[in-house]
Amino acid sequence: MGSTEKLPKMQYRFLGRSGLQVSVISLGGWVTYGGQVGDQLAFDCMKAAYEAGINFFDCAEGYAAGKSEIVMGQAIKKFNWKRNDIVISTKIYWGSAYGDNPVNNGGLSRKHLIEGTNAALDRLQLDYVDLLYCHRPDRNTPIEETVRAMNYLINTGKTFYWGTSEWNSEEIAMAWAVAQRLNLIGPVMEQPQYNLLCREKVEKEFSLLYENYGLGLTIFSPLKTGILTGKYNDGMPDDSRYATAKDAYSTSKAKSFGDEQWQKDIESTKKLKPIADKLGTDTATLAMAWVIKNPNVSSAITGASKVEQVAKSVKALDYLEKLTPELMKEIDDTLGNKPTPLTRRF
Amino acid sequence: MGSTEKLPKMQYRFLGRSGLQVSVISLGGWVTYGGQVGDQLAFDCMKAAYEAGINFFDCAEGYAAGKSEIVMGQAIKKFNWKRNDIVISTKIYWGSAYGDNPVNNGGLSRKHLIEGTNAALDRLQLDYVDLLYCHRPDRNTPIEETVRAMNYLINTGKTFYWGTSEWNSEEIAMAWAVAQRLNLIGPVMEQPQYNLLCREKVEKEFSLLYENYGLGLTIFSPLKTGILTGKYNDGMPDDSRYATAKDAYSTSKAKSFGDEQWQKDIESTKKLKPIADKLGTDTATLAMAWVIKNPNVSSAITGASKVEQVAKSVKALDYLEKLTPELMKEIDDTLGNKPTPLTRRF
Amino acid sequence: MGSTEKLPKMQYRFLGRSGLQVSVISLGGWVTYGGQVGDQLAFDCMKAAYEAGINFFDCAEGYAAGKSEIVMGQAIKKFNWKRNDIVISTKIYWGSAYGDNPVNNGGLSRKHLIEGTNAALDRLQLDYVDLLYCHRPDRNTPIEETVRAMNYLINTGKTFYWGTSEWNSEEIAMAWAVAQRLNLIGPVMEQPQYNLLCREKVEKEFSLLYENYGLGLTIFSPLKTGILTGKYNDGMPDDSRYATAKDAYSTSKAKSFGDEQWQKDIESTKKLKPIADKLGTDTATLAMAWVIKNPNVSSAITGASKVEQVAKSVKALDYLEKLTPELMKEIDDTLGNKPTPLTRRF
Amino acid sequence: MGSTEKLPKMQYRFLGRSGLQVSVISLGGWVTYGGQVGDQLAFDCMKAAYEAGINFFDCAEGYAAGKSEIVMGQAIKKFNWKRNDIVISTKIYWGSAYGDNPVNNGGLSRKHLIEGTNAALDRLQLDYVDLLYCHRPDRNTPIEETVRAMNYLINTGKTFYWGTSEWNSEEIAMAWAVAQRLNLIGPVMEQPQYNLLCREKVEKEFSLLYENYGLGLTIFSPLKTGILTGKYNDGMPDDSRYATAKDAYSTSKAKSFGDEQWQKDIESTKKLKPIADKLGTDTATLAMAWVIKNPNVSSAITGASKVEQVAKSVKALDYLEKLTPELMKEIDDTLGNKPTPLTRRF
B185 touches chain C (CB under 8 A): no
The most confident of the ranges A96-110, A162-176, C222-236 is A162-176
B210: contact with A, CB 8 A cutoff: no
- Interface check D103 vs A, CB under 8 A: yes
Radius of gyration of chain A (CA): 19
| Burial B180-194, CB ≥16 within 10 A → b, else e | eebebbbbbbbbbbb
Are the CB atoms for C145 and C106 separated by under 8 Å? no
Ramachandran class of A183: left when φ > 0, alpha when ψ lies in -120 to 50, beta otherwise: left
Fold of the domain spanning A7-335: TIM Barrel (3.20.20)
- Tell me whether B17 touches chain A (CB under 8 Å): yes
Find the residue in A nearest to D100 (Cα): A85
- Burial of D251 by CB count in 10 Å (0-12 exposed, 13-18 middle, 19+ buried)? exposed
Would an 8 Å CB–CB cutoff place A153 in contact with chain B?
no
Residues of B with a known catalytic role? 63
Catalytic (active site) residue A63 = yes
**pLDDT of A6 higher than 70:** yes
Residue A146 has pLDDT above 90, yes or no: yes
Instruction: Report yes or no: A101 at the B interface, CB cutoff 8 Å.
Output: yes
Percentage of residues in chain C with pLDDT exceeding 70?
89
| Size of chain B in residues | 346
The reported pLDDT for the residue numbered C5 is 54
Residue A281 and residue C104: Cα distance in Å, rounded? 68
Which H/E stretch holds residue C132? strand C129-134
**C134-162 tens-digit pLDDT:** 999 999 999 999 999 999 999 999 999 99
The count of C-alpha atoms lying within 13 angstroms of the C-alpha of D116, restricted to the half-sphere facing its C-beta, is 32
Q: How confident is the model at residue A37 (pLDDT cuts 50, 70, 90)?
A: low
Q: Does B85 contact A103 at a Cβ distance shorter than 8 Å?
A: yes
CA dihedral of B188, B193, B195, B197, whole degrees rounded to 10: -140
Residues of chain A neighbouring B17 (CB-CB closer than 8 A) = 142
* Cα nearest neighbour of D151 on chain A: A155
Flag if D182 and A183 touch (Cβ within 8 Å).
yes
The answer, yes or no, to whether residue B97 has pLDDT greater than 70, is no
| CB pairs B-C closer than 8 Å | 58
Tell if the CB–CB gap between B111 and C85 is shorter than 8 Å. no
Complex ipTM, two decimals? Answer: 0.94
In terms of DSSP bridges, do strands D12-14 and D21-23 run parallel, antiparallel, or are they unpaired?
Answer: antiparallel
d(CA D10, CA D314): 7
Model confidence at C264: pLDDT above 80 = yes
Q: Which of C19, C85, C183 comes nearest B109 by C-beta? A: C19
Q: Quote the CA–CA distance of D95 and D82 in Å, as a whole number.
A: 28
Ranking A40-49, B162-171, C241-250, D133-142 by mean pLDDT, the lowest is C241-250
**Chain A to chain B Cβ contacts (< 8 Å):** 59
**pLDDT (tens digit per residue) in C275-295:** 999 999 999 999 999 999 999
CB contact under 8 A, D142 and A17: yes
Which pLDDT score, from 0 to 100, does residue A1 have?
40
DSSP secondary structure code for residue B6 in this structure = G
Question: For residues D221 and C344, what is the distance between their CA atoms, to the nearest angstrom?
Answer: 56
**Chains linked to B by 3 or more Cβ pairs within 8 Å:** A, C
What number of other Cβ atoms are within 10 A of residue A296's Cβ? 17
Contacting residues for D251 by C-beta, under 8 A, at least 6 apart: D245
Indicate the residue of C104, C110, C114 with minimum beta-carbon distance to D21. Answer: C104
* Cβ neighbourhood burial of D344 (10 Å; 0-12, 13-18, 19+): exposed
Q: How many residues does chain D have?
A: 346
Residue A12 contacts D where some CB pair is shorter than 8 Å: yes
Of C87, C154, C185, Cβ closest to residue B104? C87
Binary contact (D160, C101; C-beta < 8 A): no
A202 closest CA partner among A87, A92, A315, A292: A292
Instruction: Answer yes or no: are the C-beta atoms of D158 and D132 closer than 8 Å.
Output: yes
Spell out, as residue ranges, where chain D has pLDDT lower than 70.
1-5, 30-37, 96-99, 239-255, 344-346
pLDDT at B83: 96
Superfamily of domain D9-229+283-324: NADP-dependent oxidoreductase domain (3.20.20.100)
CA–CA min distance C183, chain B (Å): 6
Nearest to B171 by CA among B161, B179, B160, B159: B179
User: What sign has the CA pseudo-torsion D269, D271, D277, D278?
Assistant: negative
| Top-level class of domain B10-229+283-325 | alpha beta
pLDDT of A2:
46
The shortest C-alpha distance from C253 to chain D (Å) reads 30
Q: In chain D, where does DSSP find H-type helix?
A: 39-51, 67-78, 110-124, 143-155, 169-181, 200, 209-213, 248-255, 260-279, 283-293, 307-314, 325-335
CB atoms under 10 Å from CB of B345, counted, come to 4
Nearest CA to A161 out of A121, A133, A196, A191 is that of A133
Q: B217-251, pLDDT tens digit by residue? A: 999 999 998 999 999 999 877 766 666 666 566 66
Q: Provide the number of CB pairs (under 8 Å) joining chain A to chain D.
A: 59
Q: Give residue C12's pLDDT.
A: 98
Q: Which residue of C has its CA nearest to B140?
A: C19
Judge whether C265 and C230 are in contact, CB under 8 Å: no
- Give pLDDT tens digits for B179-227: 999 999 999 999 999 999 999 999 999 999 999 999 999 999 999 989 9
Please indicate if any CB of chain A lies within 8 Å of the CB of D182. yes
- Residue at C63: amino acid letter: Y
- Cβ-Cβ contacts under 8 Å for D216 (sequence gap 6 or more): D14, D15, D16, D17, D18, D163, D188, D189, D190, D296, D298
Answer yes or no: pTM beyond 0.90: yes
Residue C36, SS3 per DSSP: coil
pLDDT at B29: 84
Give B-chain residues touching C155 at CB under 8 angstroms: 152, 155
Which pLDDT tens digit goes with each residue over B6-56? 899 999 999 999 999 999 999 998 655 666 668 899 999 999 999 999 999
Strands D189-191 and B87-92: unpaired
Check pLDDT > 90 for residue B253. Answer: no
DSSP state of B305: S
Average pLDDT over residues B63-78: 94
Q: Do the strands B25-28 and B56-58 form a parallel or antiparallel pair, or are they unpaired?
A: parallel
CB nearest to B145's CB, from C12, C19, C87: C19
- Rg (Cα) of chain C, in Å, rounded? 19
Catalytic positions of D: 63
Nearest CA in chain C to D130: C111
Chain A residue with minimum CA distance to D149: A160
Contacts of B268 (CB under 8 A, 6+ apart): B196, B197, B335, B337
Report d(CA A42, CA A69) in Å as an integer: 11
Which helix (H) or strand (E) is A151 found in, with range? helix A143-155
| In chain B, % of residues over pLDDT 70 | 89
Q: Do B104 and C21 touch (CB under 8 A)?
A: yes
Q: Which residues pair with C22 in a beta bridge?
A: C13
Domain residue limits, chain B: 10-229+283-325
In this prediction, residue A12 has a pLDDT band, given cuts at 50, 70 and 90, of very high
B87 in contact with A, Cβ within 8 Å: yes
Single out the catalytic residue among C63, C213, C249, C319. Answer: C63
Write down the mean pLDDT value for chain D. Answer: 92
The whole-angstrom distance between A110's CA and the closest CA on chain B is 6
Taking a C-beta distance cutoff of 8 angstroms, is the pair C132, C153 a contact?
Answer: yes
Predicted pLDDT of residue C256: 72
**Would you state the pLDDT for residue B203?**
98
Residue range A284-334, pLDDT digits in tens: 999 999 999 999 999 999 999 899 999 999 999 999 999 999 999 999 999
Q: What's the count of helices (H) and strands (E) in chain C, helices before strands?
A: 12, 10
Chain D residue closest in CA terms to C95: D84
Residue in B19, B23, B214 closest to A110 by CB: B19
> How far apart, in whole angstroms, are the C-alpha atoms of residue B245 and residue B259?
17
Nearest-neighbour CA in chain C from B133: distance (Å): 17
Q: Which residues have CB under 8 Å from C131's CB, separation 6+? A: C15, C20, C87, C88, C89, C90, C159, C160, C161, C162, C163, C188, C189, C218
Residues in Cβ contact with A146 at an 8 Å cutoff, skipping those fewer than 6 apart: A108, A110, A113, A134, A138, A175, B19
Q: What is the CATH number of domain C8-335?
A: 3.20.20.100
Q: Does any CB of chain D come closer than 8 Å to the CB of residue A181?
A: no
Candidate list A50, A63, A93, A133, residue with the active-site label: A63
Query: What one-letter code names the amino acid at D301?
Result: I
Longest CA span, chain B: 55
Going by C-alpha positions, the residue among A291, A344, A341 that lies closest to residue A316 is A291
Identify each DSSP E strand in A189-285 by its residue range: 189-191, 216-220
A residues 130-149 near B, CB within 8 Å? 138, 140-142, 145-146, 148
Quote the pLDDT of residue C1. Answer: 40
Q: Is the pLDDT of residue B1 over 50?
A: no
* CA closest to D129 among chain C residues: C111
